[in-house]
Protein backbone atom coordinates (compact mmCIF):
# COMPACT_ATOMS: atom_id res chain seq x y z
CA UNK A 1 0.00 0.00 0.00
CA UNK A 2 1.44 3.41 -0.99
CA UNK A 3 2.41 5.74 1.86
CA UNK A 4 -0.22 8.37 0.97
CA UNK A 5 -2.98 5.77 0.82
CA UNK A 6 -1.88 4.33 4.17
CA UNK A 7 -1.88 7.82 5.74
CA UNK A 8 -5.39 8.70 4.52
CA UNK A 9 -6.81 5.31 5.47
CA UNK A 10 -5.43 5.44 9.02
CA UNK A 11 -5.59 9.20 9.69
CA UNK A 12 -8.67 10.60 7.91
CA UNK A 13 -9.03 13.61 10.25
CA UNK A 14 -5.46 14.65 9.45
CA UNK A 15 -6.26 14.19 5.77
CA UNK A 16 -9.17 16.64 6.07
CA UNK A 17 -6.86 19.10 7.84
CA UNK A 18 -4.30 18.80 5.03
CA UNK A 19 -7.11 19.43 2.52
CA UNK A 20 -8.25 22.49 4.49
CA UNK A 21 -4.73 23.96 4.60
CA UNK A 22 -4.17 23.06 0.97
CA UNK A 23 -6.93 25.48 -0.03
CA UNK A 24 -4.62 28.33 1.07
CA UNK A 25 -2.10 27.23 -1.57
CA UNK A 26 -3.47 25.26 -4.52
CA UNK A 27 -7.07 24.20 -4.33
CA UNK A 28 -7.66 21.94 -7.32
CA UNK A 29 -4.73 19.57 -6.82
CA UNK A 30 -5.56 18.99 -3.14
CA UNK A 31 -9.27 18.67 -3.86
CA UNK A 32 -8.89 16.17 -6.68
CA UNK A 33 -6.51 14.09 -4.55
CA UNK A 34 -9.13 14.02 -1.78
CA UNK A 35 -11.81 13.11 -4.34
CA UNK A 36 -9.74 10.10 -5.39
CA UNK A 37 -9.72 8.83 -1.80
CA UNK A 38 -13.44 9.55 -1.45
CA UNK A 39 -14.05 7.34 -4.47
CA UNK A 40 -12.09 4.58 -2.70
CA UNK A 41 -14.30 5.05 0.38
CA UNK A 42 -11.51 6.38 2.63
CA UNK A 43 -12.94 9.90 2.90
CA UNK A 44 -16.47 11.30 3.06
CA UNK A 45 -17.68 13.61 0.28
CA UNK A 46 -19.54 15.92 2.70
CA UNK A 47 -16.44 16.32 4.89
CA UNK A 48 -14.35 17.03 1.80
CA UNK A 49 -16.81 19.71 0.70
CA UNK A 50 -16.89 21.26 4.18
CA UNK A 51 -13.11 21.29 4.66
CA UNK A 52 -12.51 22.66 1.17
CA UNK A 53 -15.20 25.34 1.49
CA UNK A 54 -13.89 26.53 4.86
CA UNK A 55 -10.33 26.54 3.54
CA UNK A 56 -11.26 28.55 0.47
CA UNK A 57 -13.13 31.23 2.45
CA UNK A 58 -10.58 31.55 5.25
CA UNK A 59 -7.73 31.44 2.75
CA UNK A 60 -9.25 34.36 0.86
CA UNK A 61 -9.71 36.29 4.10
CA UNK A 62 -6.06 35.63 5.02
CA UNK A 63 -4.85 36.91 1.65
CA UNK A 64 -7.15 39.95 1.99
CA UNK A 65 -5.61 40.95 5.31
CA UNK A 66 -2.13 40.22 4.00
CA UNK A 67 -2.83 42.80 1.30
CA UNK A 68 -3.97 45.35 3.89
CA UNK A 69 -0.84 44.70 5.95
CA UNK A 70 1.63 44.86 3.06
CA UNK A 71 0.22 48.10 1.73
CA UNK A 72 2.02 50.30 4.26
CA UNK A 73 5.26 48.35 4.44
CA UNK A 74 8.49 49.06 2.56
CA UNK A 75 7.66 46.19 0.25
CA UNK A 76 4.25 47.74 -0.35
CA UNK A 77 5.71 51.11 -1.27
CA UNK A 78 8.10 49.38 -3.65
CA UNK A 79 5.28 47.58 -5.48
CA UNK A 80 3.15 50.74 -5.50
CA UNK A 81 5.86 52.64 -7.32
CA UNK A 82 6.77 49.71 -9.56
CA UNK A 83 3.21 49.10 -10.77
CA UNK A 84 1.84 52.64 -10.60
CA UNK A 85 0.88 52.43 -14.28
CA UNK A 86 -1.69 49.75 -13.47
CA UNK A 87 -3.52 51.64 -10.71
CA UNK A 88 -6.00 53.24 -13.09
CA UNK A 89 -6.65 49.92 -14.81
CA UNK A 90 -7.31 48.26 -11.46
CA UNK A 91 -9.78 50.96 -10.43
CA UNK A 92 -11.60 50.84 -13.76
CA UNK A 93 -11.64 47.14 -14.55
CA UNK A 94 -10.72 45.12 -11.47
CA UNK A 95 -12.38 46.74 -8.46
CA UNK A 96 -15.54 47.84 -10.26
CA UNK A 97 -16.05 44.31 -11.62
CA UNK A 98 -14.94 42.53 -8.49
CA UNK A 99 -17.83 40.07 -8.48
CA UNK A 100 -16.77 38.68 -11.86
CA UNK A 101 -13.07 38.79 -10.96
CA UNK A 102 -13.59 36.88 -7.71
CA UNK A 103 -15.54 34.08 -9.41
CA UNK A 104 -13.19 33.86 -12.41
CA UNK A 105 -10.05 33.94 -10.29
CA UNK A 106 -11.15 30.82 -8.42
CA UNK A 107 -10.20 28.83 -11.53
CA UNK A 108 -6.99 30.74 -12.33
CA UNK A 109 -4.12 29.78 -10.07
CA UNK A 110 -1.94 32.79 -10.69
CA UNK A 111 -4.70 35.29 -9.83
CA UNK A 112 -6.57 33.18 -7.27
CA UNK A 113 -4.42 34.44 -4.38
CA UNK A 114 -3.70 37.79 -5.99
CA UNK A 115 -7.38 38.79 -6.24
CA UNK A 116 -8.15 38.96 -2.47
CA UNK A 117 -4.69 40.41 -1.82
CA UNK A 118 -5.36 43.30 -4.22
CA UNK A 119 -8.81 43.80 -2.66
CA UNK A 120 -7.23 44.18 0.78
CA UNK A 121 -4.50 46.40 -0.62
CA UNK A 122 -7.11 48.78 -2.06
CA UNK A 123 -9.25 48.76 1.12
CA UNK A 124 -12.18 46.99 -0.51
CA UNK A 125 -15.21 46.91 1.82
CA UNK A 126 -14.75 43.74 3.90
CA UNK A 127 -18.45 42.84 4.30
CA UNK A 128 -18.92 43.01 0.55
CA UNK A 129 -15.67 41.10 0.04
CA UNK A 130 -16.79 38.33 2.41
CA UNK A 131 -20.19 38.00 0.73
CA UNK A 132 -18.61 37.75 -2.72
CA UNK A 133 -16.01 35.19 -1.70
CA UNK A 134 -18.51 33.16 0.32
CA UNK A 135 -20.64 32.70 -2.81
CA UNK A 136 -17.58 32.15 -5.01
CA UNK A 137 -16.40 29.43 -2.61
CA UNK A 138 -19.79 27.67 -2.84
CA UNK A 139 -19.60 27.80 -6.63
CA UNK A 140 -15.97 26.57 -6.75
CA UNK A 141 -16.65 23.73 -4.30
CA UNK A 142 -19.71 22.62 -6.25
CA UNK A 143 -17.87 22.59 -9.57
CA UNK A 144 -14.97 20.62 -8.10
CA UNK A 145 -17.26 18.12 -6.40
CA UNK A 146 -18.89 17.38 -9.76
CA UNK A 147 -15.53 17.21 -11.54
CA UNK A 148 -13.96 15.04 -8.85
CA UNK A 149 -16.90 12.63 -8.80
CA UNK A 150 -16.93 12.14 -12.57
CA UNK A 151 -13.14 11.92 -12.65
CA UNK A 152 -13.42 8.95 -10.32
CA UNK A 153 -16.13 7.39 -12.48
CA UNK A 154 -14.09 7.78 -15.65
CA UNK A 155 -10.89 6.15 -14.43
CA UNK A 156 -12.60 3.59 -12.15
CA UNK A 157 -11.40 2.01 -8.90
CA UNK A 158 -8.66 -0.04 -10.54
CA UNK A 159 -7.46 3.03 -12.42
CA UNK A 160 -7.33 4.99 -9.17
CA UNK A 161 -5.30 2.28 -7.45
CA UNK A 162 -2.93 2.15 -10.43
CA UNK A 163 -2.41 5.93 -10.17
CA UNK A 164 -1.84 5.80 -6.42
CA UNK A 165 0.88 3.21 -6.92
CA UNK A 166 2.45 5.75 -9.25
CA UNK A 167 1.66 8.89 -7.27
CA UNK A 168 4.38 10.89 -9.00
CA UNK A 169 2.61 10.29 -12.33
CA UNK A 170 -0.75 11.17 -10.77
CA UNK A 171 0.67 14.44 -9.42
CA UNK A 172 2.26 15.26 -12.77
CA UNK A 173 -1.04 14.71 -14.57
CA UNK A 174 -2.84 17.07 -12.19
CA UNK A 175 -0.14 19.73 -12.56
CA UNK A 176 -0.34 19.54 -16.34
CA UNK A 177 -4.15 19.68 -16.35
CA UNK A 178 -4.60 22.48 -13.80
CA UNK A 179 -1.41 24.53 -13.71
CA UNK A 180 -0.76 24.10 -17.44
CA UNK A 181 -4.28 25.10 -18.37
CA UNK A 182 -4.20 28.05 -15.99
CA UNK A 183 -0.87 29.15 -17.46
CA UNK A 184 -2.42 29.36 -20.91
CA UNK A 185 -5.30 31.43 -19.50
CA UNK A 186 -2.73 33.60 -17.74
CA UNK A 187 -1.06 34.43 -21.05
CA UNK A 188 -4.38 35.47 -22.58
CA UNK A 189 -5.38 37.46 -19.48
CA UNK A 190 -2.00 39.21 -19.22
CA UNK A 191 -2.14 40.31 -22.84
CA UNK A 192 -5.60 41.75 -22.23
CA UNK A 193 -4.34 43.76 -19.24
CA UNK A 194 -1.39 45.10 -21.24
CA UNK A 195 -3.64 46.04 -24.14
CA UNK A 196 -6.13 47.82 -21.88
CA UNK A 197 -3.33 49.63 -20.04
CA UNK A 198 -1.92 51.01 -23.29
CA UNK A 199 -5.38 52.30 -24.19
CA UNK A 200 -5.80 54.23 -20.91
Tell me the CA distances in angstroms from 139 to 40, 44, 104, 119, 171, one per residue in order.
Answer: 25, 19, 11, 20, 24
pLDDT tens column, 139-174: 999 999 998 888 767 666 666 666 666 665 666 666
Cα distance between residue 93 and residue 184, in whole Å: 21
Name the nearest CA neighbour of 112 among 172, 59, 188. 59
- Residue-wise pLDDT for 67-124, tens only, equals 888 877 766 554 555 555 555 656 666 777 888 888 888 877 667 888 898 888 888 8
pLDDT the model gives residue 172? 65
> 25-62 pLDDT, tens per residue?
877 878 888 888 888 788 999 999 999 999 999 999 99
Does pTM top 0.75 for this prediction? no
CA–CA separation, 198 and 41 (whole Å): 53
**What are the residue ranges spanned by the domains of the chain?**
3-198
* Residue 51 burial by Cβ neighbours in a 10 Å radius (0-12, 13-18, 19+): buried
Amino acid sequence: MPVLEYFVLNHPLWAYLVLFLGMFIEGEVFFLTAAVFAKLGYLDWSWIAGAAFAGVVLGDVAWFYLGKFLKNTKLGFFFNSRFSAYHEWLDKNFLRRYWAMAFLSKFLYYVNRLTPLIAGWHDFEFKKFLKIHFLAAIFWTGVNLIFGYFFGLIIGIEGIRWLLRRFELFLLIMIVVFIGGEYLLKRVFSRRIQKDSRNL
